[in-house]
Amino acid sequence: MNRKIALFTTLLLAGGALTWIAVGNMGNNLVYYWSPAEMKTHGSEAVGATIRLGGQVVAGSVKPGSPLRFQLSDGVASVDVSTTEIPPQMFREGIGVVVEGTVDANGLFTSNRMMVKHDNEYRAPKPGETVDQEKMKREMEQLFAEGGK
């Protein structure tokens, strides 16, 4: 009988220890996914928390340099973003972006990670279909005019 109690007690303690390890520090590892409007709604709760912020890069807001600065909007609110990360090649105004980082008390979001939204669809020309060379040339010129971003 004493062995059963000792075994039960050991299993109970081991289960409690595993639960504490699994759940105990979960609050420190949470990453919120918010839109700019949701982040602003949370106010001071957002300050210092690790956040993934999703939205579109506002036209005319990109200021190249180190740090790169731009505004991110969800159509309701916008947030100033600063990052020293090198942006992905497809980064440009009007594109969907998810940035991960923290916001300070002044509302500046400092990003340490940036991901751009793109479609992975490539459509090769069909047999006999011609490629619009002028359209392709204009798109390439626009891309290079933006600095290859």
pLDDT greater than 80 at residue 120:
no
Per residue in 28-60, pLDDT (tens digit) is 556 778 889 888 888 888 888 888 888 899 999
Phi, psi at residue 5, to the nearest 5°? -65, -45
Strands (E) located in 15-143: 32-34, 51-57, 68-73, 78-83, 96-103, 109-116
The mean-pLDDT minimum among 72-86, 95-109, 128-142 falls in 128-142
Radius of gyration of the chain (CA): 24
Q: How many of the other CB atoms lie within 10 Å of CB of 124?
A: 7
- The pLDDT score that the predictor gives to residue 149 is 46
Domain boundaries of the chain, sorted by first residue: 1-27, 31-119
Which residue from 57, 37, 53 is spatially nearest to 99, judged by alpha carbons?
53
31-119: CATH, from 1.10.3720.10, 3.30.420.40, 2.40.50.140, 1.10.10.10: 2.40.50.140
Which residue from 31, 6, 42 is spatially nearest to 113, judged by alpha carbons?
31
